């Protein structure tokens, strides 16, 4: 599988869509060379605002722009956006306006920059906000489709989470993102692995290894974290009876929690959650960190096998 | 409160020549650390290193053999990406073995990419900009409540002070007249994307800060005579906080890193650049 950068694709799409949509404005906070909004800034300097290292000013100005008819894309590192949580809540979500937060460098794929930068609680924070919708794309193809969706079909707040690393391309080239719809990347009858973002590629590898253990695992991309595809989750809970979730995020308030909420209401089955287990990250090479925090392919495979063991030694975190 | 160096702790009173030698050694470590880690922030580490060396050898009341004694002066590296500079200074000063420096940013090391409180001598973790001055205010207030004689030094970046949190604390520190709080601005005129003037024109920072009720002084942050004078000024008897503005050069000591955003968060790109950096530092 070829790997491609999601944030590079975001930068390209801003330029492409910006040419057709004069209402698009872009704001950044001194990270435009990393979030890749810089390209838009070069092409459309009048519609690009580098607000300096002033995230609160950036978010409130974006609210003002949106309240005045603009479609505002706001970018910085995921962790630094959260210092404006309350501005996002009051000025953007409560107003229910056209501000798109497209953030980069979440989770442990940040790598060497370390714990301060590796936010693992952001999708939980954002899913909790009324009117906010949350998308975690799995590859560059999905990023471009999501960007069309945001620009052409929506006028309300969104949070889009793009990891720093390049990810393997898992979607077909004609893939179309559909809000509130999961994508079945690999069908299976024994077990379902729900994942998104960085974990999709790992989940696909894990499913391949599980095949060798005679376990037929489905792999489903839950890029639309909110709204959630309840129907698809329940369908696979019923058809496979076992669920593993895998996310580059805390197991609290993330994908695993969301899936568990749905099945516990509609069709309870055992859910094993792979993710950060109530701990901060640390510096290291990003792919080393997956193993360090028990979120690697091997760990997904083990969780899959445990589904079929009577007694398990799964350690719960509370 | 009079700020006289207390008798406890290490105040080495080194001469300029010895300080310069230590700075050179530290600069070399900074380059080696980021090159070995293949990541990290050399530019803003090289701009602040002379001041750090001066503080830890000549100014601060600290004791590497009794690291947590209660009257020690505190230093907060609010621009937490300058971790190579702080870690190097602490190691040279004897807070932990210099061998550990090369573990910087590696998975089995305590030397996290951004300044981390688990490292001996570090008072608080930092890395998200704009928070250190507020933490410093809190420490200064606690020192006053406890009738302790310590001072709190906070190192800020000139891009960093675009954060609202900094200006909120500039107000708060004036309200509470904390005379044991000393901010030091690393005025290197470059931030992450570009020159500070292009990203966010800061204008006359000294007069802005003065209008918030702080005493200020500007000095050359690479000249040990001027650094000495700046801290003499900070130590004068006064009834409020001090804001020292150090005019510095981002990337100072490595020609191709100077005055550019390119090496804000990037190590030497290859062996040739690495060797050039080491040679230039040795020839300083
Ligand atoms: C709140 C926050 N926003 C953004 C960043 C990303 N960032 C790291 S360093 C930096 C530029 C800092 O510039 P400056 O304060 O001038 O530091 P120096 O030039 O001294 O290295 C930025 C934007 C951050 N660490 N924290």
- pLDDT of A313 > 80? The answer is no
Pocket test for ligand 1, best of B157, B202, B205 (most atoms within 8 A of CB): B157
Both tokens of residue B186?
Answer: 């690393």
Give per-residue pLDDT as tens, A68-77: 999 999 999 9
Point out the residue among A30, A33, A116 whose CB comes nearest to the CB of B128. Answer: A116
Q: How confident is the model at residue B127 (pLDDT cuts 50, 70, 90)?
A: very high
The mean pLDDT value for B38-57 works out to 98
Q: What is the pLDDT of residue B17?
A: 97
Point out the residue among A52, A53, A116 whose CB comes nearest to the CB of B114. Answer: A116
Are the beta carbons of A116 and B39 separated by less than 8 Å? no
Largest separation between any pair of C-alpha atoms in chain B:
54
Are the beta carbons of B106 and A284 separated by less than 8 Å? yes
Q: How confident is the model at residue A310 (pLDDT cuts 50, 70, 90)?
A: low
Residue nearest to atom 6 of ligand 1 (CA): A31
Q: Which fold has domain B16-282?
A: Rossmann fold (3.40.50)
Are the beta carbons of B113 and A30 separated by less than 8 Å? no
Are the beta carbons of A283 and B125 separated by less than 8 Å? no
Residue nearest to atom 21 of ligand 1 (CA): B44
Largest separation between any pair of C-alpha atoms in chain A:
63
Provide the percentage of residues in chain B whose pLDDT is more than 90: 96
**Helices B43-54 and B83-92, axial angle in degrees (round to 10):** 30
Q: Which atom of ligand 1 is nearest to the CA of B196?
A: 16
- Please state, as a whole number, how many other Cβ atoms lie within 10 Å of the Cβ of residue B108: 10
A57 touches chain B (CB under 8 A): yes
Residue nearest to atom 22 of ligand 1 (CA): B192
H or E stretch including B153? strand B152-157
Q: Nearest CA to CA, how far is B264 from chain A (Å)?
A: 12
Which strand ranges, in their side-by-side order, compose the sheet holding B74-77?
A: B74-77, B152-157, B181-187, B242-247, B215-220
For B12-50, give one letter per residue: b (16+ CB within 10 A) or e: eebeeeebbebbbbbbbbbbbbbbbbebbbbbbbbbbbb
Q: How confident is the model at residue B3 (pLDDT cuts 50, 70, 90)?
A: very low
Point out the residue among B38, B107, B162 whose CB comes nearest to the CB of A53. Answer: B162
Give per-residue pLDDT as tens, A239-252: 999 999 999 999 99
- pLDDT of A187 > 70? The answer is yes
Q: Which atom of ligand 1 is nearest to the CA of A80?
A: 1
Q: For chain B, give the mean pLDDT.
A: 96
Point out the residue among A32, A54, A116 whose CB comes nearest to the CB of B164. Answer: A54
Provide the percentage of residues in chain A whose pLDDT is more than 90: 96
Question: How do A48-50 and B242-247 pair as beta strands?
Answer: unpaired
Q: For chain A, give the mean pLDDT.
A: 96
Q: How confident is the model at residue B10 (pLDDT cuts 50, 70, 90)?
A: low
Give per-residue pLDDT as tens, A197-207: 999 999 999 99
Pairwise CA distance, residues A87 & A81, whole Å:
10
Taking alpha carbons only, the member of B62, B71, B51 closest to residue B94 is B62
Q: Which residues of B touch A79 (CB under 8 A)?
A: 128
Taking alpha carbons only, the member of A140, A121, A275 closest to residue A195 is A275
Residue found under tokens 């928070």: B131
Q: Nearest CA to CA, how far is B229 from chain A (Å)?
A: 31
Pairwise CA distance, residues A131 & A309, whole Å:
41
Residue B19 Cα to ligand 1 middle (Å): 28
Q: What is the pLDDT of residue B161?
A: 98
Pairwise CA distance, residues A93 & A60, whole Å:
12
Beta-ladder partners of B74: B152
> What is the pTM assigned to this prediction?
0.96
Residues 6+ apart with CB under 8 A from B8: B61, B63, B69, B71, B72
Pairwise CA distance, residues B100 & B121, whole Å:
14
Residues A307 and A191 sit within 8 Å (Cβ to Cβ): yes
Q: Nearest CA to CA, how far is A181 from chain B (Å)?
A: 35
Q: How confident is the model at residue B8 (pLDDT cuts 50, 70, 90)?
A: very low
Q: How confident is the model at residue B1 (pLDDT cuts 50, 70, 90)?
A: very low
Pairwise CA distance, residues A61 & A27, whole Å:
9
A305 touches chain B (CB under 8 A): no
The mean pLDDT value for B208-215 works out to 98
- pLDDT of A255 > 50? The answer is yes
From-to residues of CATH 3.40.50.920 in chain A? 183-309
Give per-residue pLDDT as tens, B25-45: 999 999 999 999 999 999 999
Are the beta carbons of A282 and B111 separated by less than 8 Å? no
From-to residues of CATH 3.40.50.970 in chain A? 3-168
Q: How confident is the model at residue A311 (pLDDT cuts 50, 70, 90)?
A: low
The mean pLDDT value for B73-90 works out to 98
Beta-ladder partners of B218: B245
The mean pLDDT value for A296-316 works out to 85
Q: What is the pLDDT of residue B7?
A: 42
What is the number of alpha carbons within 13 Å of residue A79 lying toward its C-beta? 21
User: What are the DSSP calls for B60-87, one per residue?
Assistant: --B-TTSTT-TT--EEEESSGGGHHHHH
Beta-ladder partners of B62: B10
User: What are the DSSP calls for chain A, one per residue?
Assistant: --EEEHHHHHHHHHHHHHHH-TTEEEEESS-HHHHSTHHHHHH-GGGEEE--S-HHHHHHHHHHHHHTT-EEEEESBHHHHGGGHHHIIIIIITTT--EEEEEE--SGGGGGG-TTT---SHHHHHHTSTT-EEE---SHHHHHHHHHHHHHH--S-EEEEE-SSEEE--S-TT----TT--EEEE--SSEEEEE-TTHHHHHHHHHHHHHHTT--EEEEE--EEES--HHHHHHHHHHH--EEEEEEEESSSSHHHHHHHHHHHHS---EEEEEE-S----SS-HHHHHHHTT-SHHHHHHHHHHTT-SS-------
Q: Which residues of A touch B116 (CB under 8 A)?
A: 114-115
- Structural domain boundaries of chain B? 16-282
State in Å, rounded, how far the first CA of chain A is from the last one: 37
Taking alpha carbons only, the member of B77, B78, B73, B95 closest to residue B86 is B77
Q: Nearest CA to CA, how far is B87 from chain A (Å)?
A: 15
Top-tier CATH class for A183-309 = alpha beta
Q: Which atom of ligand 1 is nearest to the CA of A77?
A: 4
The mean pLDDT value for A81-93 works out to 98
Count of H-run helices and E-run strands, chain B: 9, 5
In angstroms, what CA-CA distances link A71 with A6, A14, A89, B72, B284?
Answer: 21, 12, 18, 52, 52
Q: How confident is the model at residue B6 (pLDDT cuts 50, 70, 90)?
A: very low
Q: What is the CATH number of domain A3-168?
A: 3.40.50.970
The mean pLDDT value for B169-192 works out to 98
- pLDDT of B232 > 70? The answer is yes
Q: Which atom of ligand 1 is nearest to the CA of B161?
A: 15
Most B CBs within 10 A among A30, A31, A80, hence the mutation to make, goes to A30
Tell me phi and psi for residue A293, to 5 degrees. -95, 20
Ligand 1: list residues with CB < 6 Å.
Answer: A 30-31, 53, 80; B 43-44, 47, 79, 81, 127-130, 157-160, 186, 188, 190-192, 250, 264
- Please state, as a whole number, how many other Cβ atoms lie within 10 Å of the Cβ of residue A227: 12
Residues B126 and B114 sit within 8 Å (Cβ to Cβ): yes
Pairwise CA distance, residues A199 & A101, whole Å:
21
Q: Nearest CA to CA, how far is B154 from chain A (Å)?
A: 18
Q: Which atom of ligand 1 is nearest to the CA of B191?
A: 13
- pLDDT of B2 > 80? The answer is no
Look up the ipTM and state it. 0.94
Q: What is the pLDDT of residue A216?
A: 98
- B125: nearest CA in chain A? A116
Residues 17-36 of A with CB under 8 A from B: 28, 30-34
- pLDDT of B4 > 50? The answer is no
What's the gap between Cα A114 and its chain centre?
Answer: 19
Give per-residue pLDDT as tens, B93-123: 999 999 999 999 999 999 999 999 999 999 9
Q: Which residues of B touch A55 (CB under 8 A)?
A: 163
The mean pLDDT value for A138-144 works out to 98
């Amino acid at each position: 599988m070829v790997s491609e950068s999601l944030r590079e694709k975001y930068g390209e799409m801003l330029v492409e869509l910006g040419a057709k949509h004069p209402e698009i404005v872009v704001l950044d906070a001194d990270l435009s060379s990393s979030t890749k909004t810089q390209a838009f800034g070069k092409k459309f300097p009048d519609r690009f605002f580098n607000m300096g290292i002033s995230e609160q000013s950036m978010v409130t100005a974006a609210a003002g722009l949106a309240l005045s008819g603009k479609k505002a894309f706001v970018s910085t590192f995921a962790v630094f956006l959260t210092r404006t949580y309350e501005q996002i809540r009051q000025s953007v979500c409560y107003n229910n306006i056209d501000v798109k937060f497209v953030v980069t460098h979440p989770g442990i794929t940040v790598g060497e920059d370390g714990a301060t930068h590796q936010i693992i609680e952001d999708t939980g924070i954002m899913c909790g906000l009324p009117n906010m919708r949350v998308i975690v794309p799995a590859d560059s193809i999905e990023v471009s489709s999501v960007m069309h969706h945001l620009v052409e079909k929506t006028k309300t707040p969104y949070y889009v989470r793009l990891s720093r690393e390049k990810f393997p391309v898992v979607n077909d080239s004609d893939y179309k993102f559909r809000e509130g719809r999961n994508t079945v990347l690999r069908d299976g009858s024994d077990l379902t692995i729900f994942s998104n973002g960085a974990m999709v590629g790992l989940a696909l590898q894990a499913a391949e290894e599980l095949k060798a253990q005679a376990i037929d695992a489905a792999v489903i991309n839950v890029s639309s974290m909110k709204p959630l595809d309840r129907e698809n989750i329940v369908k696979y809970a019923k058809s496979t009876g076992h669920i593993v979730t895998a996310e580059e995020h805390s197991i609290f308030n993330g994908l695993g929690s969301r899936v568990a909420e749905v099945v516990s209401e509609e069709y309870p089955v055992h859910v094993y959650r792979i993710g950060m287990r109530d701990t901060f990250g640390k510096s290291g090479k990003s792919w080393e960190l997956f193993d360090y925090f028990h979120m690697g392919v091997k760990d997904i495979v083990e969780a899959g096998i445990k589904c079929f063991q009577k007694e398990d030694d799964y350690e719960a975190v509370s | 409160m009079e700020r006289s160096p207390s008798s406890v702790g290490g105040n080495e009173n080194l001469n300029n020549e010895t300080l310069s030698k230590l700075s050179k050694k530290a600069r070399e470590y900074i380059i080696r650390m980021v090159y070995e880690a293949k990541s990290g922030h050399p530019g803003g580490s090289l701009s602040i290193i002379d001041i750090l060396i001066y503080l830890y050898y000549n100014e601060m009341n600290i004791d590497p053999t009794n690291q947590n004694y209660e009257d020690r002066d505190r230093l907060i590296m609010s621009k937490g990406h300058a971790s190579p500079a702080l870690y190097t200074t602490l190691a040279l000063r004897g807070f932990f073995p210099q061998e550990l420096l090369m573990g910087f940013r590696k998975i089995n090391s305590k030397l996290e990419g951004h300044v981390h409180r688990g490292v001996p001598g570090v008072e608080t973790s930092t890395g998200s900009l704009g928070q250190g001055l507020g933490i410093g205010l809190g420490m200064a207030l606690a020192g006053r409540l406890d009738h302790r004689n310590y001072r709190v030094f906070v190192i800020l970046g000139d891009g960093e002070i675009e954060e609202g949190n900094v200006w909120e604390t500039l107000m708060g520190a004036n309200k509470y007249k904390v005379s044991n709080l000393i901010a030091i601005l690393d005025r290197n005129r470059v931030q992450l994307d570009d020159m500070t003037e292009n990203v966010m024109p800061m204008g006359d920072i000294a007069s802005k800060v003065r209008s918030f009720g702080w005493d200020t002084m500007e000095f050359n942050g690479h000249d040990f005579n001027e650094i000495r004078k700046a801290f003499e000024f900070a130590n004068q008897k006064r009834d409020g906080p001090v804001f020292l503005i150090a005019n510095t050069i981002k990337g100072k000591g490595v020609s191709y890193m100077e005055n550019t955003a390119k090496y804000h968060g990037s190590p030497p790109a290859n062996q040739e650049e690495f060797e050039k950096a080491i040679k230039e530092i040795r020839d300083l």
